[in-house]
Amino acid sequence: MLHITCIACISFYFCVLIPVSKSIATTSSPYLVHSGMKYAENPNIDGATASHLYFVYIYKNYMIIHSLVKVMIIGLLGPEGTYSEKAARQLNVKARFKFFDDLEDVIESVLTREVDCGVAPIENSLEGSIGITMDALKEYNICIIGEVIVPIRHCLLSKGHMEDIKVILSHSQALAQCRKFIRGHFKDIKIQTTGSTSHAAKLTSEFPGMAAIASRESAQKYGLDILADNIQDYKENYTRFVVLGNNIPEATGHDKTSIIIHLGHDRSGALYDLLGEFASGNINLTKIESRPSKMGLGDYLFYIDMEGHRSDKNISVALNNIEKIVDWVKIIGSYPSAIKNTKQN
């Protein structure tokens, strides 16, 4: 039995692991073979022990190789054709995407490690911040590990003609970004919100009297005609997506740090003292936004983004000083900064 097990292990190692490892790092394969065979050839180790040690060795190396070749799984809002998918492809075109019905499910998939990371919208240049994502960063043990900026170009999609449209469907954010177009062309049309722009497109593909506000990709995906293009109220329409994970990455030299601060009891000059710590450290703040703390009327949190990594000396010193003058501070990410993608689609 032990003899058969040993043969099976050796066959698995040479037929499966070695070819895979060669495709990753050819120079390491001879070392792996030599290190593994030493168990079988060592005269001081009996056959049973050799079989066990060799199997453990092979298993460990298999897990190392498996981790290197494993395809990243990204959780995102679905179905296919969302702007979240466009952001995910910009992040990693070779990844496998797992689509969820709403943002809460995307966030949950990251927390439970069902996916390697999640992609979620956090702010739009026309309509501001996405509350669900911001609240999750405060409430859960989750952090920002990257960001992607995507240009948003909304289209009016349908199977029918403009005069056939009785209902317009889309995500609430997309509808808000196209207020002027809707008011100018469809004064008496029923407006209905959906979980995502692509979900609106999918529903629209079933009824000629419906129209969806969604992307060009959704038109192609669900066989819809583009009745109007670039219908957002303002040309400069971008959404910033954050990559959500469980561990803060190392510094790259081109990073951003995001924190949440609760000032605590109101006092004269509290915000001034807070901002002074960043100024004295020569730290550039790229965003500061207040948001209700949900702990009482008039009680607010401050979401702050700054240039640099939390491991940078000036940021580390500033954060240590800030902890002494506020109620609490939560670092929700230190991650590579995104470059705005201005490509028109």
> How many angstroms separate the CA atoms of 286 and 8, rounded?
58
Q: Which two tokens stand for residue 22?
A: 């060669």
Q: Which two tokens stand for residue 243?
A: 């990559």
3-state secondary structure of 153: coil
The CA-atom distances, in angstroms, between 245 and each of 101, 111, 306, 345 are 19, 8, 19, 29
Q: What is the DSSP string of 251-281?
A: P-SSEEEEEEEE--S--TTHHHHHHHHHHHT
**Burial of 128 per CB tally in 10 Å (0-12, 13-18, 19+):** exposed
Say what the alpha-carbon torsion angle 35, 37, 43, 45 is, to the nearest 10 degrees.
Answer: 80
Residue 245's nearest CA partner among 143, 330, 338, 336 is 143
Q: Which two tokens stand for residue 230?
A: 């670039």
Query: Where does residue 113 fall: left (phi above 0), alpha (psi -120 to 50 degrees), or beta otherwise?
Result: left
Q: Which two tokens stand for residue 302?
A: 């401050």
3-state secondary structure of 101: coil
Catalytic positions: 239, 241
Contact 308, 314 (CB under 8 A): yes
3-state secondary structure of 123: strand
Half-sphere exposure of 196 (CA within 13 A, CB side): 24
The alpha helices in 96-225, defined as continuous H runs, are 103-111, 131-139, 172-177, 179-185, 197-204, 216-222
